[in-house]
Amino acid sequence: MSKTADYAWLDGKLVPWANATMHISTECVLRGENVFEGIRAYWNEDHQELYTFRHADHIARLRQGARIMRMTIPYSDAEIEAASLELIRACNYRETIHYRPVVYFAEGELTHYLPSEIRTGFFILAFSMPSKKVQETGVKSAISTWRRNSDLSSPSRIKSGANYHNSRLAYIEARMNGMGPPVMLNAAGKVAEGPGACVMIVRHGKLITPPVTADILESITRETLMELAREELGMEVVERDVDRSELYVADEAFFCGSGAEVLPMVSIDHYDIGDGTPGAVTRKLQQLYNDAVRGRIEKYRPWLTPVWRGNAAKA
């Protein structure tokens, strides 16, 4: 296991990593009753700066998920941002990281409690997370035998811990079959998403991705790439249902997510995608994304928040 952070942020304060514990009787532990975010902060060596990427958009999604779960987050946006920066600075991160704000239900008794009958807590974790080498070579994927959670039962638009049991079943099946991350179909049999990332394809020169009604998480990377493709590559971007068999004839395909970044798919169900190597559009989007998140494109700086300069300004 990689080195853990020095601190976590738990219910209002920084605590040493080893002391960031909660009781085994909490709803969060017993039933995975939480909503969380996975946000990256990117180190820019030239600027000697760490930039959080689209923090405010992630927190807006956290609030959306919490609302559906009927959870009230006990902190304001400003408090969550201040706590996130406090944690990252306390851990002295000067490298690319991932941080995870989590809102959770604490001590409860029965599953039918009202939100007013239970304490809602909040914690933030941070991890070192360099970009992965596999971005260059891409992954072999397969259609999972597991269907993505349906909006009729456990909405995928909520980034809740409990939804990731579905993801894990799909991941381990794929691993046991010697494959990279799989693609999950929704209950209607259309392409939904990967277990931890959205899916995009290139066909006939257009960037195509399943709509937010396809049982997907409303991914911030997906939004980012749609904007980059339109603005920087002048591409037509289409949000529509995608059939499984379209993946077999796509010119390019890739996963996208805060953790996965832009991850090329080089084959699916043993069909080569394109010539079996990462496609040209995928590579261009990857480059644009990697530059935008590190503050190398002026136009997209509003998406970033400097961690260290922000600190100096306040000092």
Q: Which residues of this chain interact with ligand PMP, rule CB under 6 A?
A: 38, 167, 193, 196-198, 217, 219-222, 257-259
Min dist CB 226 to ligand PMP, Å, is 11
3-class secondary-structure state, position 79: helix
Min dist CB 256 to ligand PMP, Å, is 6
Min dist CB 68 to ligand PMP, Å, is 15
Nearer to ligand PMP, 196 or 310 (CB): 196
Min dist CB 123 to ligand PMP, Å, is 18
Nearer to ligand PMP, 118 or 158 (CB): 158
Nearer to ligand PMP, 120 or 167 (CB): 167
Burial 187-218, CB ≥16 within 10 A → b, else e: eeebbbbbbbbbbbbbbeeebbbbebebbbbb
How far is residue 165's CA from residue 297's CA, in Å, rounded to a whole number?
37
Min dist CB 225 to ligand PMP, Å, is 9
Nearer to ligand PMP, 129 or 217 (CB): 217
3-class secondary-structure state, position 184: strand
Please check whether residue 211 is in contact with residue 239, taking contact to mean a CB–CB distance below 8 angstroms: yes
Nearer to ligand PMP, 205 or 302 (CB): 302
How far is residue 141's CA from residue 251's CA, in Å, rounded to a whole number?
15
Q: What are phi and psi of 107, to 5 degrees?
A: -65, 125
Min dist CB 118 to ligand PMP, Å, is 25
Min dist CB 257 to ligand PMP, Å, is 3
Q: What is the DSSP string of 129-160?
A: -PPPTHHHH-EEE-EEEEEPPPTTTS-TTS-B
Residue type, 65: G
Min dist CB 217 to ligand PMP, Å, is 4
Residue type, 234: G
Please check whether residue 54 is in contact with residue 47, taking contact to mean a CB–CB distance below 8 angstroms: no
Nearer to ligand PMP, 286 or 308 (CB): 286
Nearer to ligand PMP, 26 or 160 (CB): 160
154: CB partners within 8 A, 6+ apart: 160, 162, 163, 166
Nearer to ligand PMP, 118 or 126 (CB): 126
Q: What are phi and psi of 39, to 5 degrees?
A: -120, 140
